[in-house]
Amino acid sequence: MAFAAFSSSNPKLSHGPVRSSKVVLALLLPGMLYLAMFFMVPLVSLIITSLETPAASGAYGMYDYGFDVSSYVDVTTRYLPQILRSFGYAFLATLFALIISYPLAYFVGVRLRPRPLIQKLTLTLVIAPFFISFLLRTIAWKQLLSDDSAILNFLRSIHLWGEHQYFLGTPAAVIWGLTYNFIPFMTLPLYTSLERLDLRLLEAASDLYANPAAIFRKVTLPLTMPGVISGTLLTFIPITGDYVNASRDFLGSSSTSMIGNMVEADFLQNADYPAASALSAVLMAVILILVSVYVKRTGTEDLL
Amino acid sequence: MKNLRLGRKVLPLYSVLALVYLLIPIVYTIVFSFNNSERSNTVWQGFTLDKWINVCNRPDICESLGNSMLIGVVSTFIATVLGTAIAIGLVRYRFRARSLVSLSLFLPMATPEVVMGAGLAALFFNMGAEQGFVTIILAHVMFCLSFVVVTVKARVQTLDPVLEEAARDLYANPTGVFWRITFPLLLPGIISAALLSFALSFDDFIITYFNSGPINTFPKVVYIAAAKGVPAEANVVASAVFLLAILIVIGSQIMGSVRAKRLLK
Amino acid sequence: MAKEFVAAGADLELRGIRKEFPGFTAIENLDLKIPAGEFFALLGPSGCGKTTTLRIVAGLEEPTSGQVLIGGVDETFVKPHERPVNTVFQSYALFPHMTILENVAFGLRRRKVDDPLSKAREALNLVELGHIGERRPQQLSGGQQQRVALARALVNRPSLLLLDEPLGALDLKLRRQMQIELKAIQMDVGLTFLHVTHDQEEAMDMADTVAVMHKGQIEQMGAPEALYERPRTSFVAKFLGQSNIFVGTVKETSANSLSIEVAGNKISVPKDRAVKQTGKIAIGVRPEKVEFHRKKPAANTSLNILGPGEIKDIRFTGVSNQYLIDIPNIGDVIVFAQNIGISPVIELGEQVWVSFKIEHAFGLADLPAGDED
């Protein structure tokens, strides 16, 4: 779906998939076993760890297996602000990413269709941020929008920004960073949908007296909805777990911390593995709910 | 009519502005790789090629670059082999567990990195495994796998099975069919998948941070340095990788276009 | 390991072939024998099972039950790459990443035959494409691709050549030309051809034997003329060319013929041309065998006369005119009249009688759909 952006669309084939055979097992088994081992099992591990209790020996960072759900109670109350903040930032960043990406994806996917080489090159430019280190591009914004940066000073000079007002460390800065960093994840699925849009349908709508706004509302948007939804999922979900943008060393401050920051702190600094695991499990649970709602409505065939 | 003409100009203009917005941090990063800075790279102090030439003056940057490359190559190889097999299986065969397989491949793409990172760390801890190169590679293969499958799958879907049937009809045994027909025709997709996988592995931070132990990868070094100030040498590495990646992608697109034009003559 | 195949054609025998897919049965029960060196056409509408049959012979599908014997050898479960059979696919299936020459040489290389490239060139010369060996399939026109596909198959000298509607994508003139060339090559090289098509003109033109397939079964098989002049079932009568069919109960039987009565008209058919001879039967006649008259012709024991009826439609198709005559209580009768003079010879709405020779009538084994009891 998303990453098929660079391939040509839907050729006619002689026939579809054939009945299962032993070959399928050989092809799928190694990869699926790998996933089972290194994706499923870790999730289970997380749950097990979240239910552990502090070691009877009292040793720091050591835990005994148990069935203690107190960690869940603990993280959902203690970290409620971070949880709400994460989903709030994710919602806003996803919304902004959608608003910024859709027209861009439309331009490349629809308007540039007559010039395929230009189309491919422009698409490459659109996802170019993807090719430069995630951390460095976040740091670039940190420098560009720091308290004493040229941009802020320019805005101050034309009275659009307060003298002692700063940008870094505010929720706005974090959301700015999140939006920017995840735009490629939103744009690619949108582009894939738009690139496959049959323009003759737009022509037909126009022939039937629809003005451009109506064409967009009644034809373009509904037909590209799959791209919008999968782009939204692929953007919203990773953002909820991000912690680099919100980190003090990047665009955030201690008042903008998200779920990820807490997991990092508890896991890597405080050795509070049950808390970190419980928080991760809570996040994962919400995501699984979102994904299952999506799958229920659209099925699994188009997932990949 | 006027409405339409205005609309025709607005969208390209917006797109140019949006592209500029997207490229600003990239340009900034590349420009500041030429900054004649001491420890922190926040203020422009003059143009120099010194950082590019002597990038290993910061041994931690250099060493981490080597590590990231090695990890990238190994992870990419494993993920590409496993993922290509899955992609072919998914497209070519009908089987009952199909929904389950699709879902299992989708979930890693949709799972936040903190969850995967913490989970893997918990797994390795419970297994008693020491963190290092192996744990990093195992982690990277895991999250690259789904992306390889998606990319190769798109290519397999354009491959008409009748070509493989024709090969069998012309006396090619199963191995012959794969190596002479399937693989060559899938190669562009496999290469795209490999490049994507390498990019994901090289740039990965969160999952690696949870599972790397003493090994430094390039993103890890940058993150740690972010508190004090990221040195210009880091910009050099990032810029070099970026330029290389862009050149490869653009180059292959132009070559593909030229070849297509030549064939249609 | 160079596999040596018989240079001349081999015969093909299908015994009790049945093919089931989840949800439907593609082939019910197929028995077929094609002698060596024959050009055999399997004719039928889409979905009748003919392509499935071809794929089973090629080894690309396994039958649910039954046997495939090629040259007397049971090849039912032999893999395609070990059978002495080659296929010309409907979409040609030329390998896009190889040159034309390499495409044609592919099978030879897999079989480790000596000097594959010169043999490939020979094959390309046979289809008059020797000069484009270095091009890629995408650079060729449809007709050229079709010839390359043919050369690629023929160069392997298969005992049995399977053709899956290979001329479908070509325009009319090119198709006619290729039909002539294919037939010439087949007769020249002496191979056995199994040609699958839905184009009945093509089948009748090229084949020594035609089998009409319908809903997974062969309804009738024989020389094209035999099938055309004496169809056995109403499907064959209507699929192969057009037919006028009259349904009635057998009223009279004589030494040589039997008759039915339809709306007061007597229609007779010779006994040796009637499959079913009692009860309710269907008698048919080809439109080109029917004449129309402005005045009722004199009664004649060798003629079936029907009418009067009204000319409802006239179609001009160049070589002939097609007339649709509506006879009350009988229905529409189609008449083809060759354009010997200057048309039209008659106007819409005129009243005519139709007649045809009794010896041209044929009696079917079944009744047309909708006329059954």
Q: Which of A13, A125, A136, A261 to mutate to test the interface with B (most CBs of B within 10 A)?
A: A136
Contact B211, B142 (CB under 8 A): no
pLDDT at res. B265: 63
Residues C143 and C77 in one domain: yes
CA A203 to chain C, closest CA, distance in angstroms equals 30
- Chains in touch with B (3+ beta-carbon pairs under 8 Å) read A, C
Query: Min CA distance, A15 vs chain C (Å)?
Result: 12
**Looking at the partner chain, which of B11, B93, B142 has a beta carbon nearest the beta carbon of A21?**
B93
Given A31, A244, A260, which is nearest B85 (Cβ)?
Answer: A31
Closest CA in chain C for residue A15: C91
For residue C240, the domain's CATH number is 2.40.50.140
Number of compact structural domains in chain C: 2
Residues 6 or more apart in contact with residue A234 via CB below 8 angstroms: A2, A185, A186, A189, B109, B110
Last residue in a domain, options C212, C229, C246: C229
Overall domain count for chain B? 1
Instruction: State which residues form the domain around B221.
Output: 59-230
Nearest CB to A304: which of B23, B150, B239? Answer: B150
Instruction: Please report the ipTM that was assigned to this predicted complex.
Output: 0.85
Asked, for residue C222, whether it belongs to a domain, the answer is yes
Inter-chain contact B86–A240, Cβ cutoff 8 Å?
no
Q: In the complex, which subunits touch A with 3 or more CB pairs below 8 angstroms? A: B, C
Query: What CATH number did the domain enclosing B64 receive?
Result: 1.10.3720.10
Question: Which residues of chain A from 254 to 293 reach within 8 Å of chain B, CB to CB?
Answer: 259-260, 263-264, 267-268, 273, 276-277, 280, 283-284, 287, 291
Among chain B, residues having any CB pair with chain C shorter than 8 Å are 160, 162-163, 165-173, 176, 180-181, 184-185, 263-265
Query: How open is the CA angle A76-A82-A86, to the nearest 5 degrees?
Result: 115
User: Do C185 and C261 lie in a common domain?
Assistant: no
Task: For residue B185, list chain C residues with Cβ-Cβ distance below 8 A.
Answer: 96-97
Tens-digit pLDDT profile for residues C252-269: 899 899 999 988 889 999
Min Cα separation C112/chain B (Å) = 10
Q: Tell which of C170, C203, C229 closes a domain.
A: C229
Nearest CA in chain B to A120: B253
CA angle C194, C195, C196 (to 5 degrees): 120
Q: Report the range of poorest mean pLDDT among A6-10, A35-39, B121-125.
A: A6-10
**Measured distance CA(A104)–CA(A116) in Å, rounded:** 16
- What single DSSP character describes residue A98? H
CB < 8 Å to B162, chain C? 89, 91, 93
The better pLDDT of the pair A232, A302 is held by A232
The token pair that represents C208 in the structure block: 């020594």
Q: Kindly state whether C156 is in contact with chain B, defined as any CB-CB distance less than 8 angstroms.
A: yes
Residues of B in contact with A273 (CB under 8 A): 122
Distances (CA, A) of A67 to A44, A124, A274, B115, B119: 14, 50, 11, 20, 18
A19 pairs with which residues across the strands?
Answer: B94
B140-172 tens-digit pLDDT: 999 999 999 999 998 998 899 999 999 999 999
CB contact under 8 A, B160 and C138: no
Peptide bond connecting C344 to the previous residue in cis, omega within 30 degrees of 0: yes
**The pLDDT value given to residue A12:** 57
State the pLDDT at residue A9: 47
Asked whether the beta carbons of residue B106 and residue A104 sit closer than 8 angstroms, the reply is no
Share of chain C above pLDDT 90, in %: 57
Nearest partner of A233 among A161, A289, A291, A273, judged by Cα: A291
Give pLDDT, residue A48. Answer: 87
Q: State which H helix or E strand residue A135 sits in.
A: helix A134-144
pLDDT of residue C85: 92
Does any domain span residue B175?
A: yes
Q: Do A6 and B192 touch (CB under 8 A)?
A: yes
Both C61 and C147 in a single domain?
yes
**Who among C60, C79, C106 is closest to B170 (CB)?**
C106
Residues with Cβ within 8 Å of B223's Cβ and at least 6 positions away in sequence, in order, are A135, A244, A249, B205, B209
Looking at residue C286, its pLDDT comes to 95
Res B7: pLDDT:
65
Residue A27 has pLDDT above 70, yes or no: yes
Domain contains C316: yes
**pLDDT tens, residue by residue, C161-179:** 999 988 887 888 888 888 8
Two structure tokens written together for C310: 């009204």
Q: Does the pTM exceed 0.80?
A: yes
Residues C24 and C124 reside in one and the same domain: yes
> Do B117 and B211 contact (CB within 8 A), yes or no?
yes
Q: Which residues contact A193 (CB under 8 A, 6 or more apart)?
A: A109, A223, A224, A225, A226, A227, A228
Bridge partners of C323, per DSSP, are: C314, C335
pLDDT tens, residue by residue, B42-80: 888 888 888 888 888 888 888 999 999 999 999 999 999
Of B160, B169, B263, the CB nearest to C138: B263
Given a cut of 70, whether residue C1 has pLDDT beyond it is: no
Residues of B in contact with C110 (CB under 8 A): 170-173, 176
Residue given tokens 């349904």 in the structure block? C247
Closest chain A C-alpha to C46 CA, distance in angstroms: 14
Phi first, then psi, for residue C281 (nearest 5°) are -130, 165
Same structural domain for residues C96 and C177? Answer: yes
| Cβ atoms B159, B188 nearer than 8 A | no
CA distances for C143 relative to B133, C92, C152, C289, angstroms: 58, 10, 14, 37
Kindly state whether residues C192 and C331 are assigned to the same domain: no
Range among B42-51, B93-102, C100-109 with highest mean pLDDT value: C100-109
Give domain status of residue B258, yes or no: no
Cβ(A151)–Cβ(A215) below 8 Å? no
Q: Are residues C73 and C30 located together in one domain of the fold?
A: yes
CB C153 within 8 A of CB C86: yes
| The domain over range A82-298 is classified in CATH as 2.60.40.1180 | no
**Other residues' Cβ atoms within 10 Å of the Cβ of residue A52:** 19
C-alpha to C-alpha distance for C179 and B117, rounded to whole angstroms: 66
Interface of C with A (CB under 8 A): 22, 89-91, 93
Q: What is the mean pLDDT of residues A100-107?
A: 94
**Do the chains contact at A120 and B242, CB–CB below 8 Å?**
no
| Dihedrals phi, psi of C364, to nearest 5 degrees | -90, 160
Q: Which residue has the tokens 């390359």?
A: C148
Read off the tokens for A280: 């991760």
Please tell me the predicted confidence (pLDDT) of residue A60.
72
Judged by a CB distance cut-off of 8 A, whether residue C60 touches chain B is: yes
Residue C316 forms contact with B (CB below 8 Å): no
Q: Is residue B264 part of a domain?
A: no
pLDDT at B4: 54
Assess whether C152 and C300 both reside in one domain: no
Q: Where are the domains of chain A?
A: 24-68, 82-298
Nearest to C12, CA basis, from C84, C60, C68: C68
Digit-coded pLDDT (tens) for C301-323:
899 999 899 999 999 888 888 99
Mutation site, A1, A117, A127, A135, interface B, largest B CB count within 10 A: A135
Kindly tell me if the per-residue pLDDT of A22 is higher than 80: no
Same domain, C157 and C29: yes
CA–CA dist B183, B188 (Å, integer): 9
**Is A14 within 8 Å of chain C by CB?**
yes
Residue B2 pLDDT > 50:
no
What's the pLDDT at C5? Answer: 44
B-C contacts (CB, under 8 Å): 67
Rounded-to-integer distance, Cα B122 and Cα B210, Å: 9
Chain C CB contacts of B165 under 8 Å are: 60, 80, 87, 89, 93
Residue C143 domain flag: yes
Q: What mean pLDDT comes out for the span A220-235?
A: 89
For residue A203, what are the contacts with CB-CB under 8 A and spacing of at least 6? none
Q: Write out chain B residues lying below 8 Å of C136, CB-based.
A: 263
Q: Which of C213, C229, C245 is the last residue of a domain?
A: C229
In a domain, B47, yes or no: no
Distance CA B24, CA A173 (A): 16
DSSP H helical ranges for A2-79: 22-35, 41-50, 70-78
In chain B, the largest separation of any two C-alpha atoms, in whole Å, equals 71
Instruction: Please give the Cα distance from A269 to A55 (Å, whole number).
Output: 18
The answer to whether B11 faces chain A, any CB pair under 8 Å, is yes
Q: CA C94, CA C132: separation in Å to the nearest integer? A: 14
Same domain, C163 and C139: yes
B265: which chain C residues are within 8 Å (Cβ-Cβ)?
139
**Per-residue pLDDT, A11:** 53
**Phi and psi angles of residue C336, each rounded to the nearest 5 degrees, phi first:** -100, 130
Q: Are A82 and A282 within 8 A, CB to CB?
A: no
Residues of chain B numbered 97-136 and touching chain A (CB < 8 Å):
98-99, 101-116, 118-123, 126
User: What is residue A247's predicted lDDT score, i.e. its pLDDT?
Assistant: 85
CA atoms within 13 A on the CB side of C26: 20
| Residues C273 and C194 occupy one common structural domain | no
Q: Which residues of chain C make contact with A19, given a CB cutoff of 8 A?
A: 22
Amino acid making up residue A51: L
Say whether the peptide bond before residue C308 is cis (omega within 30 degrees of 0). Answer: yes
Identify whether C1 is part of a domain: no
- Range of the structural domain that residue C264 is part of: 234-363
Question: What is the secondary structure of C158-211 as a DSSP string?
Answer: -SEEEEESTTTTS-HHHHHHHHHHHHHHHHHHT-EEEEEES-HHHHHHH-SEEE
CATH number at residue C32: 3.40.50.300
Range list of β-strands (E), C263-302: 265-270, 280-285, 291-293
Q: Is the pLDDT of residue A102 over 80?
A: yes
Q: Give how far Cα A24 sits from Cα of A30, B32, B96, C74, C248, Å.
A: 11, 51, 11, 28, 58
Q: Are residues C201 and C277 in the same domain?
A: no
Percentage of the residues of chain B whose pLDDT score is greater than 90:
53
Q: What is the mean pLDDT of residues C24-39?
A: 90
Chain-chain contact of B219 with A242 (C-beta, under 8 angstroms):
no
To the nearest whole Å, the CA of A20 is away from the closest chain C CA by 12
Residue B141 lies in a domain: yes
Residue C277 lies in a domain: yes
Q: Collect all residues of chain A within an 8 Å Cβ-Cβ radius of residue C80.
A: none
pLDDT of residue A14: 66
